[in-house]
Amino acid sequence: MGSAVSSFGQLCGRQKKKEEDRHFRANDRHYNLSHRYANNAIKTSKYNIFTFLPLNLLQQFRRLGNCFFVFLFILQLIPQISSLAWFTTAALLIVVLSITAVKDATDDINRHKSDEELNNREVKVLINGELQSEKWMNVQVGDVIWLENNQYVTADLLLLSSSEPLHLVYVETAELDGETNLKVKQALTVTGELGGSIEALANFKGESKM
Protein backbone atom coordinates (compact mmCIF):
# COMPACT_ATOMS: atom_id res chain seq x y z
CA MET A 1 0.00 0.00 0.00
CA GLY A 2 2.83 2.38 0.85
CA SER A 3 4.44 1.75 -2.55
CA ALA A 4 1.19 2.51 -4.35
CA VAL A 5 0.74 5.82 -2.54
CA SER A 6 4.33 6.82 -3.28
CA SER A 7 3.92 6.07 -6.98
CA PHE A 8 0.68 8.07 -7.14
CA GLY A 9 2.40 11.04 -5.54
CA GLN A 10 5.23 10.92 -8.06
CA LEU A 11 2.74 10.73 -10.93
CA CYS A 12 0.85 13.80 -9.68
CA GLY A 13 4.12 15.62 -9.27
CA ARG A 14 5.09 14.95 -12.89
CA GLN A 15 1.69 16.10 -14.16
CA LYS A 16 1.76 19.36 -12.20
CA LYS A 17 2.96 22.17 -14.41
CA LYS A 18 6.02 23.94 -13.09
CA GLU A 19 5.52 27.65 -12.64
CA GLU A 20 7.97 29.65 -14.73
CA ASP A 21 10.30 32.11 -13.03
CA ARG A 22 9.96 35.77 -13.95
CA HIS A 23 13.09 37.82 -14.60
CA PHE A 24 13.57 41.51 -15.15
CA ARG A 25 16.52 43.86 -15.19
CA ALA A 26 16.79 47.50 -14.24
CA ASN A 27 17.59 49.88 -17.09
CA ASP A 28 17.11 47.19 -19.72
CA ARG A 29 13.85 47.80 -21.58
CA HIS A 30 14.76 45.54 -24.49
CA TYR A 31 15.26 42.54 -22.21
CA ASN A 32 12.14 43.22 -20.15
CA LEU A 33 9.90 43.78 -23.18
CA SER A 34 10.97 40.41 -24.58
CA HIS A 35 9.12 38.74 -21.68
CA ARG A 36 5.88 40.57 -22.55
CA TYR A 37 4.93 41.52 -19.04
CA ALA A 38 1.65 43.33 -18.37
CA ASN A 39 1.68 47.04 -19.16
CA ASN A 40 1.03 49.75 -16.59
CA ALA A 41 -2.24 51.06 -18.03
CA ILE A 42 -5.05 51.29 -15.47
CA LYS A 43 -8.52 50.12 -16.48
CA THR A 44 -11.40 50.29 -14.01
CA SER A 45 -14.19 50.76 -16.57
CA LYS A 46 -16.50 47.85 -17.32
CA TYR A 47 -17.73 48.63 -20.84
CA ASN A 48 -16.88 50.21 -24.15
CA ILE A 49 -19.18 51.51 -26.88
CA PHE A 50 -19.54 48.03 -28.43
CA THR A 51 -19.92 45.90 -25.30
CA PHE A 52 -22.14 48.19 -23.23
CA LEU A 53 -25.56 47.01 -24.42
CA PRO A 54 -25.03 43.20 -24.26
CA LEU A 55 -22.95 43.23 -21.07
CA ASN A 56 -25.19 45.69 -19.27
CA LEU A 57 -28.32 43.72 -20.16
CA LEU A 58 -26.63 40.53 -19.01
CA GLN A 59 -25.71 42.19 -15.74
CA GLN A 60 -29.24 43.52 -15.21
CA PHE A 61 -30.95 40.21 -15.90
CA ARG A 62 -28.88 38.61 -13.16
CA ARG A 63 -31.16 40.47 -10.76
CA LEU A 64 -34.15 38.49 -9.57
CA GLY A 65 -36.55 41.43 -9.90
CA ASN A 66 -35.88 41.88 -13.62
CA CYS A 67 -36.24 38.16 -14.25
CA PHE A 68 -39.60 38.26 -12.47
CA PHE A 69 -40.83 40.98 -14.85
CA VAL A 70 -39.73 38.89 -17.83
CA PHE A 71 -41.63 35.90 -16.41
CA LEU A 72 -44.79 38.03 -16.05
CA PHE A 73 -44.33 39.33 -19.58
CA ILE A 74 -44.18 35.76 -20.95
CA LEU A 75 -47.34 34.81 -19.04
CA GLN A 76 -49.19 37.84 -20.41
CA LEU A 77 -48.44 36.69 -23.92
CA ILE A 78 -50.70 33.69 -23.26
CA PRO A 79 -54.38 34.79 -23.41
CA GLN A 80 -55.61 31.70 -21.54
CA ILE A 81 -53.51 32.66 -18.50
CA SER A 82 -53.66 36.45 -18.26
CA SER A 83 -56.26 39.03 -19.24
CA LEU A 84 -53.85 41.96 -18.93
CA ALA A 85 -52.25 43.52 -21.98
CA TRP A 86 -48.66 42.40 -22.51
CA PHE A 87 -47.35 45.91 -23.13
CA THR A 88 -48.10 47.02 -19.54
CA THR A 89 -45.35 44.82 -18.13
CA ALA A 90 -43.10 45.36 -21.17
CA ALA A 91 -43.28 49.15 -20.80
CA LEU A 92 -42.48 48.98 -17.08
CA LEU A 93 -39.55 46.62 -17.72
CA ILE A 94 -38.14 48.86 -20.47
CA VAL A 95 -38.35 51.91 -18.19
CA VAL A 96 -36.55 50.10 -15.36
CA LEU A 97 -33.83 48.76 -17.68
CA SER A 98 -33.38 52.15 -19.33
CA ILE A 99 -33.00 54.07 -16.07
CA THR A 100 -30.47 51.55 -14.76
CA ALA A 101 -28.59 51.57 -18.07
CA VAL A 102 -28.32 55.38 -18.05
CA LYS A 103 -26.98 55.29 -14.49
CA ASP A 104 -24.46 52.53 -15.34
CA ALA A 105 -23.36 54.37 -18.48
CA THR A 106 -22.80 57.61 -16.53
CA ASP A 107 -20.76 55.79 -13.89
CA ASP A 108 -18.67 54.04 -16.54
CA ILE A 109 -18.01 57.26 -18.45
CA ASN A 110 -16.66 58.74 -15.23
CA ARG A 111 -14.44 55.67 -14.81
CA HIS A 112 -13.10 56.13 -18.35
CA LYS A 113 -12.28 59.77 -17.59
CA SER A 114 -10.55 58.83 -14.34
CA ASP A 115 -8.54 56.07 -16.06
CA GLU A 116 -7.48 58.44 -18.82
CA GLU A 117 -6.38 61.07 -16.32
CA LEU A 118 -4.29 58.59 -14.33
CA ASN A 119 -2.77 56.90 -17.37
CA ASN A 120 -1.74 60.19 -18.95
CA ARG A 121 -0.04 61.66 -15.90
CA GLU A 122 3.62 62.20 -16.64
CA VAL A 123 6.63 60.96 -14.73
CA LYS A 124 10.38 61.13 -15.30
CA VAL A 125 11.88 57.82 -16.41
CA LEU A 126 15.55 57.01 -16.89
CA ILE A 127 15.88 55.87 -20.51
CA ASN A 128 19.25 55.38 -22.22
CA GLY A 129 21.01 57.22 -19.42
CA GLU A 130 18.78 60.30 -19.59
CA LEU A 131 15.69 61.42 -17.70
CA GLN A 132 12.75 61.56 -20.09
CA SER A 133 9.14 62.52 -19.53
CA GLU A 134 6.87 59.50 -19.95
CA LYS A 135 3.21 58.75 -19.34
CA TRP A 136 2.48 56.39 -16.48
CA MET A 137 0.69 53.98 -18.80
CA ASN A 138 3.91 53.62 -20.83
CA VAL A 139 6.11 52.80 -17.84
CA GLN A 140 7.61 49.33 -18.26
CA VAL A 141 8.74 46.65 -15.82
CA GLY A 142 12.32 47.39 -14.77
CA ASP A 143 12.24 51.13 -15.49
CA VAL A 144 14.07 53.41 -13.06
CA ILE A 145 11.70 56.25 -12.12
CA TRP A 146 12.62 59.65 -10.70
CA LEU A 147 9.95 60.84 -8.25
CA GLU A 148 9.65 64.28 -6.71
CA ASN A 149 7.87 65.59 -3.62
CA ASN A 150 4.03 65.34 -3.56
CA GLN A 151 3.95 63.34 -6.80
CA TYR A 152 1.28 60.73 -7.48
CA VAL A 153 2.39 57.15 -8.04
CA THR A 154 0.32 54.77 -10.17
CA ALA A 155 2.52 51.69 -10.21
CA ASP A 156 4.12 49.16 -7.85
CA LEU A 157 7.63 50.44 -7.16
CA LEU A 158 10.76 49.20 -5.42
CA LEU A 159 12.56 51.99 -3.56
CA LEU A 160 16.19 52.24 -4.63
CA SER A 161 17.30 55.48 -3.02
CA SER A 162 16.12 58.76 -1.52
CA SER A 163 17.45 62.24 -0.93
CA GLU A 164 16.21 62.04 2.68
CA PRO A 165 18.52 60.94 5.53
CA LEU A 166 18.76 57.16 6.00
CA HIS A 167 17.24 56.72 2.52
CA LEU A 168 13.68 57.21 3.82
CA VAL A 169 10.53 58.25 1.97
CA TYR A 170 7.09 59.11 3.31
CA VAL A 171 4.12 57.74 1.40
CA GLU A 172 0.43 58.58 1.67
CA THR A 173 -1.92 55.75 0.66
CA ALA A 174 -5.25 57.57 1.02
CA GLU A 175 -6.43 56.54 -2.45
CA LEU A 176 -5.81 52.86 -1.62
CA ASP A 177 -6.99 52.41 1.95
CA GLY A 178 -8.28 55.85 2.99
CA GLU A 179 -5.48 56.39 5.52
CA THR A 180 -4.01 59.89 5.39
CA ASN A 181 -1.13 59.27 7.79
CA LEU A 182 2.26 59.01 6.13
CA LYS A 183 3.90 55.59 5.98
CA VAL A 184 7.69 55.36 6.20
CA LYS A 185 9.59 53.31 3.61
CA GLN A 186 13.35 52.76 3.56
CA ALA A 187 15.63 51.74 0.71
CA LEU A 188 18.19 48.97 1.06
CA THR A 189 21.64 50.19 2.05
CA VAL A 190 23.24 48.68 -1.05
CA THR A 191 20.98 50.71 -3.38
CA GLY A 192 20.50 53.69 -1.09
CA GLU A 193 24.10 54.71 -1.72
CA LEU A 194 23.16 55.49 -5.33
CA GLY A 195 21.80 58.80 -4.06
CA GLY A 196 20.55 61.35 -6.55
CA SER A 197 23.24 60.79 -9.13
CA ILE A 198 21.77 60.28 -12.60
CA GLU A 199 25.00 58.64 -13.73
CA ALA A 200 24.96 56.17 -10.83
CA LEU A 201 21.30 55.30 -11.46
CA ALA A 202 21.93 54.91 -15.21
CA ASN A 203 24.75 52.44 -14.48
CA PHE A 204 22.64 50.46 -12.02
CA LYS A 205 22.28 46.89 -13.33
CA GLY A 206 20.07 45.22 -10.75
CA GLU A 207 18.32 41.99 -11.69
CA SER A 208 15.38 40.26 -10.05
CA LYS A 209 14.17 36.67 -10.23
CA MET A 210 10.69 35.92 -8.95
- Listing DSSP states for 11-48 in one string gives HHHHHSPPPPP-EEETT-HHHHHTTT------------
> Sign of the C-alpha dihedral, residues 99, 100, 104, 105?
negative
Q: What is d(CA 127, CA 144) in angstroms, rounded to the nearest whole number?
A: 8
Minimal CA–CA distance to 164: which of 181, 182, 179?
A: 182
Is it the case that residue 18 has pLDDT exceeding 90? no
pLDDT at 12: 43
134-177 residue pLDDT tens: 999 999 999 999 998 889 898 989 899 988 888 899 999 887 88
* pLDDT over 70 percentage in the chain: 88
Question: How confident is the model at residue 46, as a pLDDT?
Answer: 94
C-alpha 119/C-alpha 114 separation (Å) is: 9
pLDDT at 131 over 50: yes
pLDDT, average across residues 124-133:
90
Instruction: Measure Cα distances from 94 to 30, 51, 60, 62 in Å.
Output: 53, 19, 12, 16
Identity of the residue numbered 189 = T
- The answer for residues whose C-beta is within 8 angstroms of residue 146's C-beta and 6 or more apart is 123, 124, 125, 126, 131, 201
State residue 84's pLDDT score.
67
pLDDT at residue 42, rounded to an integer:
92
pLDDT band at 20 (very low <50, low <70, confident <90, very high): low
pLDDT digits (tens, 9 = 90+) for 58-115: 999 898 888 888 888 887 777 777 666 767 778 888 898 999 999 999 999 999 999 9
Instruction: Give the pLDDT band (50/70/90) at residue 207.
Output: confident
- Is residue 15 predicted with pLDDT exceeding 70? no
Percent of the chain predicted with pLDDT > 90: 37
**pLDDT for the residue numbered 83:** 66
- Domain ranges for the chain: 22-30+139-209, 52-118
Segment 43-52 mean pLDDT: 94
Q: Is the pLDDT of residue 4 over 70?
A: no
